[in-house]
Amino acid sequence: MALGPWQIAIIVLLIVLFFGRGRISDMMGDLAKGITSFKRGLREDEDEGKDTRSSPSEPARIAQPAPPPSETTVEATREDSAS
């Protein structure tokens, strides 16, 4: 069941009567400030990420997997446990 234009108009009218024009505009202003602050925070995070990736003084650290255990280590462990 879709809402018709009259039903939408009545809902909007009830919201304006319930909250008042001033309060709705205040809420929309607060919402706009929140969105602006969120976007600014995203931009700052991107800028910080670019700064750390492009700094030549600090080399990039890449995690390398641990080397597999050698056979001598396994044999030494067996000898220790057998004793």
Residue range 7-53, pLDDT digits in tens: 999 998 988 888 887 887 888 899 999 999 999 999 988 887 776 55
Rounded-to-integer distance, Cα 35 and Cα 43, Å: 12
- What is the per-residue pLDDT for 10? 93
pLDDT at 78: 61
Residue 27, domain extent: 20-51
- Model confidence band, residue 75 (pLDDT cutoffs 50, 70, 90): low
Structural tokens at position 33? 């400030």
Asked whether residue 45 is assigned to any structural domain, the reply reads yes
**Does pTM top 0.75 for this prediction?**
no
Q: Could you report the per-residue pLDDT of 49-71, keeping only the tens digit for each?
A: 776 555 555 555 677 777 766 65
Instruction: Count how many domains the chain has.
Output: 1
Considering the domain boundaries, does residue 38 fall inside one? yes
The dihedrals phi and psi of 50, each to the nearest 5 degrees, come to: -70, -40
Q: Residue 35 falls within a domain, yes or no?
A: yes
Closest CA to 31 of 4, 39, 65: 39
Cβ atoms of 24 and 15 within 8 Å: the answer is yes
Does residue 43 sit within a domain?
yes
Q: Would 59 be classed as within a structural domain?
A: no
Q: Is 36 inside any structural domain?
A: yes
34 located within any domain: yes
